[in-house]
Amino acid sequence: MTDTPIRIVLAKIGFDGHDRGLRMVARILRDAGFEVIYLGLRQTTENVVAVVEQEDADAVGLSMHNAQHLTLAPKMVKSLRSAGLDVPVILGGVVPDQDIAPLLEAGVAVILGPGTSAEDVVRSVREAVTSRS
């Protein structure tokens, strides 16, 4: 059903408290008609999985700003898949160019770097979701 809004869970995992980007993306997606389940800071991958299940979310958006992406983003993908959830993981934040390939390899669907336009954010999330349905 294409007229049902896309539901996305937005979270930050671990200590990192830079939530400017996450809040920005929440507003961008809301204004593009998405339903954003905003979890905010200091989440665990286990909790995100539980929320995706309960909310029947279509995607997970994580934001990372301090070099933990190489550990935590693949861990998030793995936790979702082992719960049987084939939802795309979208990663935003500061990701050096050389880390992009290993992250995509690890199953991260989309990486949105700093300066990504609102249109690109909306389009990539939408594509990541529809390519799986």
Partner 1 sequence: MANDSEANNDRQAWQDAYDRTPLRDVDFETMSGIPVEPVYGGGPYPGQYPFTRGIRPSMYRSRLWTMRMFAGFGTAEDTNGRFKEILRNGGTGLSTAFDMPTLMGRDSDHEWALGEVGRAGVAIDTLADMRDLFADIDLGSVSTSMTINGPAHIIMAMYIALAEENSVDRAALSGTIQNDILKEYQAQKEYIFPPRPSMRLITDLIRFTAAEMPRWHPVSVSGYHIREAGSNAAQELAFTLANGFAYVEAAIAAGMDVDDFAPRLSFFFNSHSDFFEEIGKFRAARRIWATWMKERYGARDERSMLCRFHTQTAGVSLTAQQPEINVARVALQALAAVLGGSQSLHTDSFDEAMALPTEDAARIALRTQQIIAYETGVASVADPLGGSAYVEWMTDEIERRAEDIFSHLHELGGGSILEGVYAGIDNGYFVGAIADSGYRFERAVNAGRRIVVGVNEFTDGDHPSDRNLLRIDPQVEANQLKRLADVKQSRDESLVRTSLEQLVTDAADPTINTIPATIKAVQALATEGEIVAALETVFGTYVETAVM
Partner 2 sequence: MKRDSSTPVELFDAAITGHRHAIGRLLSLVEQGGASADAVSALTHEKSGAAMVIGITGPPGSGKSSLLSQLLKEVVAAGFRPAVIAVDPSSPLTGGAILGDRVRIDATDTATFIRSIATRGHSGGLALAVPGAVRVLDAVGFNPIIIETVGVGQVEVDVTASADTTIVVANPGTGDAVQANKAGLLEVADIFVVNKSDLPGSDDARRDLELMLDLSHMTGQEDSTGRRPPIIMANSLEGSGAAELWAAVVEHGEHLVATNQLSARRAKRQLAELRSRVSDALMDALDSELASKHGADIVVALSDRRITPTEASSQIISRVIRTDERPARPRGPQV
CB atoms within 10 A of CB 42: 13
Among 1, 15, 97, 98, which residue interacts with partner 2 (rule: CB under 8 A)? 1
User: Under the criterion CB under 8 A, does residue 17 sit at the interface with partner 1?
Assistant: yes
Q: What is the footprint of partner 1 within residues 44-83 (CB under 8 A)?
A: 66-68, 70-72
Q: Which is nearer to partner 2, 1 or 101 (CB)?
A: 1
User: Under the criterion CB under 8 A, does residue 113 sit at the interface with partner 1?
Assistant: yes
Reading the block at residue 5, the tokens are 């809004």
Q: Evaluate whether 5 touches 59 at the Cβ level (below 8 Å).
A: no
Of 16, 112, 116, the residue nearest 68 (C-alpha): 16
Q: Name which of partner 2, partner 1, none residue 105 binds, using a CB cut-off of 5 to 8 Å depending on partner kind.
A: none
Three-state DSSP state, 123: helix
Number of residues that bind partner 2 (CB under 8 A): 36
